Amino acid sequence: MSANRRFRNVVCIGPVQVGTAYDSRGREKHTAACTAPRCGFSCDYDSRAAAELAARTHRCPVR
């Protein structure tokens, strides 16, 4: 089942977007997702700092 999330406070750091949303249990989660074609990087974090760090250090394997 796909997650239908409403993201807020979305920031672009290079090709990676970082956004904040609530998960299915009502907890705040921060997501970092790469928007480059064929990259597929996406991960949820408990803190905004961790998501932004992942966005800053992400390197796309597809060039």
- pLDDT at position 1: 45
| Amino acid occupying residue 13 | I
Residue 44: strand pairing partners: 31
DSSP letters, the chain, are: -------EEEEEETTEEEEEEE-TTS-EEEEEEE-STTT--EEEESSHHHHHHHHHH---S--
- The share of the chain scoring above pLDDT 70, in percent, equals 92
18-42: pLDDT as tens digits: 999 998 888 999 999 999 999 999 9
What pLDDT, on the 0 to 100 scale, is given for residue 16? 95
Q: What is the mean pLDDT of residues 56-63?
A: 85
Give the closest residue to 48 by CA, choosing from 4, 8, 5, 15.
Answer: 8
pTM of the predicted model as reported, rounded to 2 decimal places: 0.84
Q: Is the pLDDT of residue 2 over 70?
A: no
